[in-house]
C-alpha cells in the first residue's frame, strides 16, 4: 500500500489547493479543498478546520452562480467524491444517494428503469448536497414544489462531527432548516428522495410566442393547472409595446400508452444529445465563436432571431422532446459561460428576484425598463412560476421569478452592482425574495427584510446551537447575514 | 539541470521554489541566486515521499503568491548490468522518475485547471522513445512520463493549460558523468535556456537540442528485428 493510500485509510482526508470560483466566474479565491470519500473523512476535514481555527465552506460541484460555495478566508469541503448511488428501488422510485451524486448521475441511473427526478435544475451537474442545501426548483415549481418537497430523509454531519438523520418525522426542525440552509448547519452525507414514474422518455411540448409580459403571465395562469412544466424565455432587449416579449414552452408527461415505444425512448441512447453540430462541428468548441456575439449588439441580434424562430415554432403542432433535452437546456452548449470571458473576474452573474403574484407584472416591467435605461441588458432572461414551501429559508413565493444573466467585467462590475442594488430595493419593497444559488450581489441587511422574522430568528438560533464557533462559513453567509450572525 | 533552470528563471525575474534532496546543494543554489531579480525559495524534499506533496505544494504556492509553471526535472538512471534484473532498483527508478512526476503534476494540474492558466513542463528523455536493452526500466519510466504528460495535455487543453514534454539528448550533468560515447553534449545552462524557450513557445514535445528530433524519428522507426541486434 502506498503512503497516500495509508493516510486515507486512517480516516485522514485528501486535499488539494485550488482556485475556488463562483460558477459565473465573477469572483474566486485560492484555498485548501478537502475531498472526503466517506463520513469519517468528512469528520476529519471538520476537525482539521477546527484545529486550525479556520472556517470551512461546503461545496458540491460548484454550480451556484455566485459565492454560495466559496470561502475566501478559509478551507472548502468538496463533497463531489462521495458519489455512490447507494440504492434505488424500482418499485417505489425511492433513491438513496451519497450527497456528491449529481442530478446527471441520478437520472442516467433511473431513466432506463422508468423513473425521473421529481425536481431538476436547468443544468444536470449540481450535486445532491448542493440541490438540498439550496432547495432548488425546476420548471415545475408551481406544480410540485422545490426539491425539498421530494426529499424524504437525509443524514447531516453536524459541525461537532455528530451524524443526525432528519426527516419530516425525525428532527423535523433540522429537516426544514437544513434544506435551503445553504450549508450553514451541517454536511449532507446521504440523501433519500422520491422520484417520479414516467411512461415515456419523451415529453409533449407546446410552444407559444408571447408579445408582451401580460400575455406571458395570462398564458401561465391559464395552463398551470394542467401543465407539468412551464418556462418562458424573454427578449430583454425588446422595448415599448413589446416589453417582455418572448417564447413559452409548456410540457406534459406522456401518460401510460401514449408512447408506443417506451422501451426505445426510455434509453440513454435515445436521451443523449449529439456531441456535434450538423454532424461535424463539436459543440464543446461552440463557446469560441459565441465569444464574437457576446456583446450588446450581438445579443440583441441573437434575441431577435430567437424571438422570431419562437414565433415560427409556435405555429407548428406540439412536438416531443426528450427529458434530457427539455430539462437541461443549459447543458446544450458545453462551457458556454466561457463565451463571457475566461480570465478570472470576467464572466456573468445571475440576478433572480422572486416577486409575489400581485406585484410581479409591474415590478418586472420596471426592472426591464431600468435595465435598458442603465445600459445593463441581460443576455438571457427566464421566467418561471412558483409556489410556497415549508422550508425555513425558502426563496419560493406564490408568484414569479425572473432570472437575468448579466455580463460582468472588472470595468463594469461596480456600476452593475450599483444597478442591482436599486433593483433589490424595488423587489424588497414589493415583498419579494432572492435565491442564494444565484446570488453575488445582495448586501447585508437583505436577509432581515426578505425572510419572516420568526423563521430567520429560529434559523440563526439553530446555527448558534449547532455551530457555536461558526466553523461553517461561506462568503455568502458573511455577506448577506452580516447583520444577524 | 534543475539548478540551471532555477537560476535562469530567477534571473528572468520569476519567483521560484526549488526542491531537491540535499539541503547543502539547495543553500548553494539559493546563495548563487541571491542577486537575481526573482526570489528563490528552497525546500529539501525527496520525491519518494509522495504523501508529503499536497501539503508542501500548498505551502510553496502560498509562499510564491501563486503558480504559473511547474517543472519536473527529478530523474535517476542507475547503471544496470547486462544480465541484471534487480526489482528493487527498477521500482525505485519508477518511484522517482514516474510516481514523483505524477505526485507533483497532479496537484498542479488541479490548480491550473481551476485557474484556467498554467504550464506543466516535464523533463523526460529520448530514452522513452524505445525500450532499449541497456536500461529497460529507465526507458519504461520515461515512456510512462511521456504518455502521462500527453494525456494531461489533452485533458487540460480546454482549460487553457499547456503541457510541454522535453526529451533531452545528452546533457552535461551528474547523470551523464563518466559515460562513454556521448556526442552533441550541451551544458545544463544551455539546455535550461532551450527548455524554457520551448515552454514559452507552447511546444508540445521538444527534443533538446532540437537536432535530436531527427535521431528520435529514425530510432522510433527501426524495425524490432534490427533494433534488438543493435547496441543503442
Please check whether residues A321 and A192 belong to one and the same domain: no
Closest of A213, A158, A160 to residue A368, by C-alpha: A213
pLDDT exceeds 60 at position A250: yes
Convert the pLDDT of each residue in A166-197 to its tens digit. 999 999 999 999 999 999 999 999 999 999 99
Counting residues of chain A whose pLDDT is more than 70, the rounded percentage is 98
ipTM of this model?
0.92
- Residue numbers in A near B158 (CB within 8 A): 284, 335
Please check whether residues A336 and A282 belong to one and the same domain: yes
Decide if A269 contacts A424 (C-beta within 8 A): no
Residue B184: left if φ>0, alpha if ψ -120 to 50, beta else—which one? left
Domains and CATH numbers, chain B: 68-227 (3.40.50.720)
- Residue numbers in B near A7 (CB within 8 A): 51
Q: How far is CA A344 from the centre of its chain?
A: 21
Residue A455 counted as domain residue:
no
Decide if A374 contacts A395 (C-beta within 8 A): no
A400 falls in which pLDDT band (50, 70, 90)? very high
Which CATH number do you get for residue A322?
3.30.70.2520
What domain range includes position A133?
85-197
CA distance B106 to chain A (A): 9
Last residue of a domain, one of A150, A182, A197: A197
pLDDT of the residue at A11: 63
pLDDT exceeds 80 at position A275: yes
pLDDT exceeds 60 at position A2: no
Convert the pLDDT of each residue in A437-447 to its tens digit. 999 999 999 99
- Residue numbers in B near A14 (CB within 8 A): 54
Rounded-to-integer distance, Cα A241 and Cα A220, Å? 20
pLDDT exceeds 90 at position B183: no
Please check whether residues A46 and A76 belong to one and the same domain: yes
Please check whether residues A388 and A298 belong to one and the same domain: yes
pLDDT of the residue at A278: 86
The DSSP call for residue A111 is G
Pairing of strands A380-385, A399-408: antiparallel
Convert the pLDDT of each residue in B32-60 to its tens digit. 999 999 999 999 999 999 999 999 999 99
Which range is least confidently modeled, A130-134, A187-191, A384-388, B171-175? B171-175
Please check whether residues A414 and A336 belong to one and the same domain: yes
**Cis omega (within 30 of 0) on the bond before A328?**
no
Which CATH number do you get for residue A163?
3.30.465.10
A156 falls in which pLDDT band (50, 70, 90)? very high
pLDDT of the residue at A95: 98
Residue A2 counted as domain residue:
no
Rounded-to-integer distance, Cα A187 and Cα A77, Å? 9
Chain-chain contact of A16 with B158 (C-beta, under 8 angstroms):
no
Q: What is the mean pLDDT of chain A?
A: 95
pTM of the predicted model, to two decimals?
A: 0.94
pLDDT of the residue at B116: 95
- Measured between CA atoms, the residue of chain A closest to residue B61 is A17
- The angle, 0 to 180 degrees and rounded to 10, between the axes of the packed helices B188-200 and B2-11 is 60
Which among B50, B111, B158 has the least Cβ separation from residue A18? B111
Rounded-to-integer distance, Cα B125 and Cα B128, Å? 6
Residue A172 counted as domain residue:
yes
pLDDT exceeds 60 at position A8: no
pLDDT exceeds 60 at position A7: no
The DSSP call for residue A316 is S
SS3 A388: coil
CA distance A19 to chain B (A): 5
Q: What is the mean pLDDT of chain B?
A: 95
Counting residues of chain A whose pLDDT is more than 90, the rounded percentage is 94
Decide if B58 contacts A32 (C-beta within 8 A): yes
Contact B212/A at CB under 8 A:
no
Convert the pLDDT of each residue in A33-82 to its tens digit. 999 999 999 999 999 999 999 999 999 999 999 999 999 989 999 999 99
Convert the pLDDT of each residue in B102-120 to its tens digit. 999 999 999 999 999 999 9
pLDDT of the residue at A266: 97
Rounded-to-integer distance, Cα B189 and Cα A243, Å? 67
- Residue numbers in B near A17 (CB within 8 A): 54, 57-58, 61-62, 107, 110-111
Please check whether residues A107 and A253 belong to one and the same domain: no
Convert the pLDDT of each residue in A129-138 to its tens digit. 999 999 999 9
Amino acid at each position: 500500500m502506498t503512503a497516500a493510500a495509508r493516510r486515507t485509510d486512517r480516516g485522514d482526508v485528501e486535499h488539494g489547493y485550488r482556485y475556488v470560483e463562483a460558477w459565473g466566474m465573477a469572483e474566486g479565491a485560492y484555498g485548501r479543498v478537502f475531498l472526503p470519500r466517506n463520513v469519517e473523512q468528512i469528520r476529519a476535514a471538520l476537525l482539521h478546520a477546527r484545529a486550525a481555527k479556520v472556517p470551512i465552506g461546503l461545496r458540491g460541484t460548484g454550480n451556484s452562480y455566485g459565492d454560495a460555495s466559496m470561502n475566501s478566508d478559509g478551507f472548502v469541503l468538496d463533497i463531489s467524491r462521495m458519489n455512490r448511488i447507494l440504492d434505488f428501488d424500482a418499485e417505489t422510485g425511492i433513491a438513496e444517494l451519497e450527497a456528491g451524486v449529481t442530478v446527471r448521475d441520478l437520472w442516467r441511473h433511473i431513466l432506463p428503469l422508468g423513473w425521473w427526478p421529481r425536481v431538476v435544475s436547468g443544468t444536470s451537474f449540481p450535486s445532491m448536497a448542493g440541490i438540498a442545501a439550496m432547495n432548488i426548483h425546476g420548471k415545475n415549481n408551481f406544480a410540485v414544489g422545490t426539491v425539498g418537497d421530494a426529499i424524504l430523509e437525509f443524514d447531516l454531519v453536524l459541525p461537532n462531527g455528530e451524524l443526525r438523520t432528519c426527516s419530516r418525522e425525525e428532527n423535523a426542525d433540522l429537516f426544514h432548516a437544513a434544506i435551503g440552509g445553504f450549508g450553514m448547519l451541517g454536511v449532507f452525507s446521504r440523501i433519500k428522495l422520491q422520484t417520479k414514474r414516467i411512461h415515456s422518455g419523451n415529453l409533449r411540448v407546446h410552444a407559444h410566442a408571447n408579445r408582451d409580459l401580460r400575455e406571458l403571465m395570462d398564458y401561465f395562469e391559464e395552463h398551470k393547472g394542467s401543465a407539468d412544466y412551464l418556462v418562458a424565455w424573454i427578449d430583454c432587449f425588446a422595448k415599448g409595446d413589446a416589453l417582455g416579449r418572448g417564447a413559452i414552452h409548456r410540457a406534459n408527461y406522456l401518460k401510460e400508452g401514449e408512447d408506443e415505444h417506451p422501451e426505445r425512448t426510455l434509453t440513454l441512447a435515445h436521451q443523449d444529445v449529439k456531441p456535434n453540430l450538423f454532424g461535424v462541428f463539436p459543440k464543446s468548441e461552440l463557446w469560441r465563436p459565441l465569444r464574437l456575439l457576446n456583446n450588446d449588439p450581438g445579443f440583441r441580434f441573437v434575441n431577435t432571431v430567437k424571438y422570431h424562430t419562437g414565433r415560427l415554432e409556435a405555429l407548428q403542432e406540439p412536438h416531443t422532446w426528450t427529458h434530457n433535452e427539455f430539462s437541461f437546456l443549459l447543458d446544450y452548449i458545453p462551457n458556454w459561460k466561457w463565451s463571457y470571458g475566461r480570465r478570472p473576474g470576467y464572466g456573468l452573474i445571475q440576478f433572480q428576484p422572486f416577486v409575489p403574484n400581485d406585484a410581479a407584472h409591474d415590478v418586472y416591467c420596471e426592472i426591464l425598463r431600468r435595465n435598458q435605461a442603465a445600459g445593463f441588458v441581460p443576455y438571457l432572461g427566464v421566467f418561471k412560476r412558483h409556489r410556497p414551501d415549508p422550508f425555513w429559508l425558502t426563496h419560493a413565493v406564490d408568484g414569479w421569478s425572473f432570472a437575468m444573466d448579466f455580463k460582468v467585467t472588472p470595468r463594469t462590475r461596480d456600476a452593475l452592482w450599483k444597478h442591482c442594488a436599486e433593483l433589490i430595493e424595488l423587489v424588497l419593497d414589493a415583498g419579494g425574495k432572492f435565491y442564494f444559488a444565484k446570488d453575488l450581489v445582495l448586501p447585508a441587511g437583505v436577509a432581515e427584510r426578505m425572510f419572516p422574522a420568526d423563521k430567520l430568528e429560529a434559523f440563526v438560533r439553530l446555527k448558534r446551537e449547532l455551530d457555536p464557533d461558526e466553523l461553517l462559513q461561506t462568503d455568502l453567509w458573511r455577506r448577506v447575514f452580516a447583520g444577524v450572525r | 539541470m534543475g539548478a540551471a533552470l532555477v537560476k535562469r528563471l530567477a534571473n528572468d525575474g520569476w519567483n521560484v521554489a526549488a526542491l531537491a534532496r540535499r539541503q547543502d546543494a539547495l543553500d548553494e543554489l539559493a546563495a548563487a541566486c541571491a542577486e537575481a531579480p526573482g526570489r528563490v525559495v528552497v525546500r529539501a524534499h525527496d520525491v519518494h515521499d509522495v504523501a508529503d506533496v499536497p501539503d508542501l505544494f500548498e505551502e510553496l504556492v502560498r509562499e510564491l503568491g501563486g503558480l504559473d509553471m511547474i517543472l519536473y526535472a527529478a530523474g535517476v538512471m542507475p547503471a544496470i548490468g547486462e544480465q541484471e534484473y534487480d526489482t528493487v532498483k527498477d521500482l525505485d527508478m519508477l518511484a522517482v522518475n514516474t510516481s514523483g512526476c505524477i505526485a507533483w503534476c497532479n496537484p498542479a494540474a488541479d490548480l491550473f485547471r481551476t485557474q484556467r492558466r498554467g504550464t506543466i513542463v516535464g523533463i523526460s528523455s529520448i530514452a522513452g522513445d524505445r525500450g532499449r536493452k541497456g536500461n529497460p526500466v529507465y526507458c519504461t519510466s520515461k515512456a510512462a512520463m511521456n504518455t502521462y504528460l500527453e494525456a494531461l495535455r489533452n485533458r487540460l487543453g480546454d482549460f487553457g493549460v499547456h503541457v510541454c514534454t522535453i526529451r533531452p539528448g545528452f546533457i552535461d550533468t551528474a547523470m551523464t558523468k563518466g559515460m562513454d560515447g556521448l556526442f552533441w553534449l550541451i551544458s545544463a545552462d544551455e539546455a535550461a535556456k532551450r527548455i524554457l524557450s520551448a515552454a514559452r513557445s507552447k511546444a508540445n514535445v521538444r527534443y533538446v537540442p532540437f537536432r535530436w528530433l531527427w535521431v528520435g524519428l529514425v530510432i522510433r522507426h527501426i524495425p524490432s528485428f534490427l533494433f534488438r541486434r543493435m547496441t543503442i
